[in-house]
């Protein structure tokens, strides 16, 4: 099993900056797709661009009276157990998201579907991304890292990871202080959100 640790970045001015999960040489991060609830796009019925209400398409309930269902129920009835194979080899972990666009014009109300790419996390009408400005904080950030003499190389690896991500500057100084499992960084590059 690869050596892993949770590293907490804590600054006196900014509180908790972030939590990084470092597992040998992998950084895990969640990317979420955020779609606004309204979209101005072309309406075929109005023949011009109109605001559209955006919702997520959901499959309706299957009918009990379609030919395939009637045939399956007839074959399943009586003795004999399961008569047809049950599909279990699911290959995909995601589905293609389908957006339902409805024209807001009272006399139109035409609807159309729009498929977007596959994604793990989908959000409709979430908070917008805000601009991030990077500034230096002249403070000391302590990072708790559990390591032994065999894991001394991972300290350098974590430093490289934090530098690549942009949380520490190239001039950041690293040293061990008081406790053998405590690493201190100086000249931290933190992110301040501009409203």
CATH number for the domain spanning 48: value is 3.10.450.80
Give the separation between CA 193 and CA 195, rounded to whole angstroms.
Answer: 6
Give the separation between CA 144 and CA 138, rounded to whole angstroms.
Answer: 19
Positive or negative: CA dihedral 149, 179, 145, 168 = negative
Residues 158 and 101 in one domain: no
pTM value > 0.75 = no
Structural domain range at position 121: 29-61+93-129
| Residue 156 lies inside a defined structural domain of this protein | yes
- Write the CB contacts of 51 (distance below 8 Å, at least 6 apart in sequence): 38, 39, 40, 103, 104
| Residue 15 lies inside a defined structural domain of this protein | no
| Residue 33 lies inside a defined structural domain of this protein | yes
Q: Which two tokens stand for residue 57?
A: 């398409």
Residue with tokens 């009272």: 106
Q: How many domains does the chain have?
A: 2
Residues 125 and 176 in one domain: no
Q: pLDDT 10s digit of each residue in the chain, 195 long?
A: 444 443 333 333 333 333 333 333 333 345 789 999 999 999 999 999 999 999 999 999 999 999 999 999 999 999 999 999 999 999 999 999 999 999 999 999 999 999 999 999 999 998 888 877 655 555 554 545 454 444 444 555 565 555 665 655 554 444 444 444 445 555 555 444 444
CA distances from 179 to 11, 82, 182 (A): 18, 64, 5
DSSP state of 150: G
């Amino acid at each position: 099993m690869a050596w892993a640790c949770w590293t907490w970045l804590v600054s006196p001015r900014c509180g908790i900056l972030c939590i990084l999960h470092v597992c040998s040489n992998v950084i895990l991060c969640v990317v979420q797709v955020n779609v606004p609830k309204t979209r101005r796009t072309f309406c075929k019925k109005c023949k011009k661009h109109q605001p559209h209400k955006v919702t997520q398409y959901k499959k309706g309930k299957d009918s009990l009276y379609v030919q395939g269902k009637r045939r399956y129920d007839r074959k399943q009835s009586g003795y004999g157990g399961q008569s047809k194979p049950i599909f279990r080899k699911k290959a995909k972990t995601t589905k293609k998201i389908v957006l339902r666009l409805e024209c807001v014009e009272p006399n139109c109300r035409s609807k159309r579907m729009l498929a977007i790419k596959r994604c793990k996390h989908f959000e409709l009408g979430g908070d917008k991304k805000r601009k991030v400005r990077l500034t230096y904080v002249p403070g000391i950030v302590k990072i708790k890292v559990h390591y032994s003499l065999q894991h001394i190389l991972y300290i350098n690896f974590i430093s490289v990871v934090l530098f690549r991500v942009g949380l520490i500057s190239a001039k950041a100084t690293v040293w061990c202080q008081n406790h053998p499992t405590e690493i201190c960084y100086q000249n931290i590059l933190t992110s301040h959100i501009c409203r």
